Amino acid sequence: MGSLAAEAVGIMDPENPTKLETEAVHLSDGGSARNHLPNRVFVNRSLNLENIKCYGFDMDYTLAIYKSPEYEALGFELLRDRLVSIGYPHELLRYDYDPEFPTRGLVYDTMYGNLLKVDSHGNILVCTHGFSHLKGDDIHNYYPNLFIQRDDTERFYILNTLFNLSETYLYACLVDFFTSCTRYKNCTQGFQHGDLFMSFRSMFQDVRDAMDYVHDSGSLKDRTIKALEMYVVKDPRIPVLLSRVKEVAKVFLATNSDYSYTDAIMKYLLEVPASVKSGAPKRAWRSFFDLVVVDTRKPLFFGEGTVLRQVDTLTGKLRMGTYTGDLQHGTIYSGGSSDVVCDLLDVRGKEILYVGDHIFTDILKSKKRQGWRTFLVAPDLIKELQVWTDKRYLFEELKGLDVYLAEFYKHLDSGSHERPDISAIQTRMKMVTYLDQYVL
């Protein structure tokens, strides 16, 4: 299925960590052999596709898979350069993106400047300050209970998208630089330089502002369009997939990207040169969809939405007024809401299978507010499953040690006074558990 070979695993609902919130998850590598891991299908909930009347797709990191680490390196470069342009030290320019450090889902502590890897309950698994991995007492000094309140969004920021990878690495670079620079005095919540205090929170806000600038100014999109082959995976199976799906159901595209960028990316991915033998003309990318909506502003799109307007495809500008008519095939729409999509396509809730990459924006919101079936694209899970496979012997040893530990307590009850000596087992568990502790 091209870039949409499904791999299904559960996505935790933050409000109910025991509940699975998606039918399927895709692990994309841009096109490997049929029997390789990214092309195998796993399911966590049975879904009769005969009941699906409509398939919806996001674009970025869904139909358009960006090459890693090239794309993240580009994003990092633009962010870093933006900070330097607004007054940050030029020494930051010596930092280059390292794809081995960041991973999606880390949490940035805006009070102490730490990057945290936590489980679904908020228990801290890994803690770094800059590029220094903290241990034992160092972590306890910051977090006495080895626990954080994940719902404290004023303090903790979850870096949960693939676009956040470059941002994640930049936080580590900033902390590393200011910590090691002799011009700055290290403080608990930032750095002091004469009368200037640089807090981790203000640093966080500067990076977020830089991120908004890179996206809003169009600099990232411009660089991407100028070198599509360098940054975007061109999978020839995508047009085949969309053609087959459109034969049996309605298909729509709903993306936060603007029309100009969407047009450039879709032409690159879908407008394959016509075959010399067939003599057929090149197929326009819009013909693969029954409905195309840009500028959706998800997650707002799945709630009250915005004004639905038509796009003038010759100029890229929006036409005046709110569009209230029937669906016009070949027309590009801007804004709107998920309710509008349902009305235009004459489909409802569970008749739609929506494919996206953002756990919160694409998956949870579409399911909880609209009842849509969901399909999550998660290329980063390939590495997780590879680690599970490569380190399986360690997991098996931990399982065996756990069983062995249980045997010590098997015949003890509240009346037992002897404490079994489990120190050797605990030591071995720690050795096995933290063998690769320096990998986030």
Residue 237 CB partners (closer than 8 Å, separation 6+):
1, 2, 3, 31
Edge to edge, the sheet with strand 190-193 lists: 185-187, 190-193, 196-199
Q: Enter the tokens of residue 431.
A: 């050795």
Local structure of residue 361 (DSSP, 8 states)? I
Q: Is the dihedral of CA 389, 394, 395, 399 positive or negative?
A: positive
Q: In whole angstroms, give the CA distance from residue 105 to residue 393.
A: 26
DSSP H helical ranges for 181-258:
200-216, 219-226, 228-231, 237-248
Residue 125's H or E segment, with its range, is: strand 124-129
Q: Give whole-number Cα distances, 163 to 57, 61, 335, in Å.
A: 18, 9, 22
Catalytic pick among 13, 58, 357, 362: 58
Q: In whole angstroms, give the CA distance from residue 115 to residue 106.
A: 6
Kindly report the backbone phi and psi dihedral angles of residue 209, in degrees, each rounded to the nearest multiple of 5, phi listed first: -65, -40
Q: Where are the beta strands (DSSP E) in 263-392?
A: 291-294, 309-310, 332-334, 352-356, 373-377
Catalytic pick among 60, 235, 357, 362: 60
Q: Is the dihedral of CA 193, 148, 173, 228 positive or negative?
A: negative
In this structure, are residues 371 and 349 in contact, taking their beta carbons and an 8 Å threshold? yes
In this structure, are residues 150 and 159 in contact, taking their beta carbons and an 8 Å threshold? no
Whether residue 58 lies in the annotated active site: yes
Q: In whole angstroms, give the CA distance from residue 430 to residue 284.
A: 58
Residue 391: HSE in the Cβ half-sphere, 13 Å Cα cutoff? 16
Q: Enter the tokens of residue 283.
A: 């197929």
Whether residue 60 lies in the annotated active site: yes
Catalytic sites, residue numbers: 58, 60
